[in-house]
Amino acid sequence: MRRYVLKKLLLALPVLLGITVIDYLIMSLAGNPLDMMSGPRITREAIAFKATRLGLDMPLWKQYLNWLNELLHGNLGYSFKNYQPVAQIIGSHIGPTLLLMGASLAVGLLVAIPAGIYSAVHRYQKRDFAVVTASFLSSSIPGFFLALILVYVFTAKLGWLPSNANSLRWPSQGGSVWGVVKNMIMPVAVLAVSVAGSNIRYIRSAMLEILEADYLRTARAKGLGRFRVINKHALRNALLPIVSVIGLQIPTLFGGAVIVEQLFSWPGLGLITMNAVLQRDYPVIMGVCLLSAVVVLAANLLTDILYALVDPTIRY
């Protein structure tokens, strides 16, 4: 087992390195931060001075190697815009994003698991049909359109919820938990709808496959109650493929969070990433890309290991 994990880790490293190279390339193709400051009032000398200070006068490969070297010494660099350490910027914004993603995943699965099971158990009946249609609808609605509808209903018409998190105050800043929850309801709802939409179908098909398995017929034949058959014998086995699918959804979920954070001004990683992209703030973009790549690869690795642990037919 240890050898298997080591092998997987070693295979993930070049992929990670490759991702950072691609990141750096694409990012520098996008133009550099100096273009943004040029104007009639700025002299050429000032720009050249700035370029030297930020290390932008060096050839691209050298810039990248510098970045990599600093990274290996535990330094993610400093923002070109406000000179804050990137690690600190990420550290102060990652919490809200994780909260948003975690809550959406939890709410989405809390809806999707019972709905998927219900749908599979009542296969090809009207109830199944209704659930599947609902899941298609919820994965077909653009997040921003749903956000518009929610803002229209809950902010403009009812006045219950704030349309953006600009006045959000965390409990550590003297805000109330209820205040945070009120700010989270709409962004979480938007993300959870898409999580639920795609997962209902996965759970339904995983359950359908297992409901036809021989050991389930045995369980029913033993006279076990319907509830126990479904929850103990079927669900636990159906969870395996579902876990792996959830690992694959993390990049999508993060992508959704970036957009939702824009829509509701949620103070997370997505918001600062978007600003960094618009201002070509290289170190911040690289930091976020690296972080997300690590998270995705770690999720893949964890999925593989879980699979190997649970499924004895996988040789390692």
Partner 1 sequence: MESHFGIVFRRFCRHRMALVSLIVLGVMILMAVFAPLIAPYGPNKVAGGFSKPPDAEHLLGTDQSARDMFSRLLYAMRVSLTVAAAATLISTAIGVLLGMAAGYFGGRIDQAIMSFTDMVMSFPYILLVLVAAAIFEPGMWSIVLILGFVDWPGIARLVRGSVLSLRETVFFKSDITAGMPRRYILFSEILPNVIAPVLVYATSVFALSILDEAALSYLGMGVPVTTPSLGNILKGAESITILTGKPWLWVPAGTVIIVMVTCINFVGDALRDAMDPKN
- How many other C-beta atoms are found inside a 10 Å radius of the C-beta of residue 215? 11
Contacts 24+ apart (CB under 8 A), 29-35: 30/277, 30/280, 31/280, 32/56, 32/280, 32/282, 33/80, 33/81, 33/279, 33/280, 33/281, 33/282, 35/280
Residues that bind partner 1 (CB under 8 A): 14-15, 18-19, 22, 26-27, 29-31, 133, 136-137, 139-145, 148-149, 151-152, 156-157, 251-252, 254-256, 258-259, 262, 273-274, 277-278, 280, 285, 288-289, 292-293, 296-297, 300
Per the listing, tokens 């938007």 go with 190
Residue 19 or 99 having the CB closest to partner 1: 19
Shortest reach from residue 40's CB to partner 1, in Å: 24
| Minimum distance of partner 1 from residue 177's CB (angstroms) | 28
Give SS3 for 78: strand
Least distance between partner 1 and beta carbon 141 (Å): 5
Closer to partner 1 by Cβ: residue 139 or 224: 139
Instruction: Give the residue with the Cβ less far from partner 1, 151 or 184.
Output: 151
Residue 188, judged by CB atoms within 10 A of its CB (0-12, 13-18, 19+), counts as: buried
Terminus-to-terminus CA distance in the chain, angstroms?
7
State the Cα–Cα distance between residues 109 and 197, nearest whole angstrom. Answer: 10
d(CA 113, CA 239): 9
Least distance from C-beta 203 to partner 1, angstroms? 15
Closer by beta carbon to partner 1, 179 or else 251? 251
CB of 127 to partner 1, least distance (A): 15
Nearer to partner 1, 143 or 267 (CB): 143
Q: Which is nearer to partner 1, 102 or 255 (CB)?
A: 255
CB 222, min distance to partner 1, A: 28
What is the Cα–Cα distance from 316 to 5, expressed in whole angstroms? 9
Residue 289 neighbours by CB distance under 10 Å: 18
Phi/psi of residue 6, nearest 5 degrees: -60, -45
In the complex, the smallest distance separating the C-beta of residue 251 from partner 1, rounded to whole angstroms, is 5
**What is the Cα–Cα distance from 52 to 50, expressed in whole angstroms?**
5
For partner 1, give the closer residue by CB, 267 or 270: 270
Q: Which is nearer to partner 1, 29 or 72 (CB)?
A: 29
Whole-angstrom Cα distance, residue 180 to residue 201? 32
Minimum Å gap between C-beta 34 and partner 1 is 15
Q: How far apart are CA 21 and CA 64, in angstroms?
A: 8
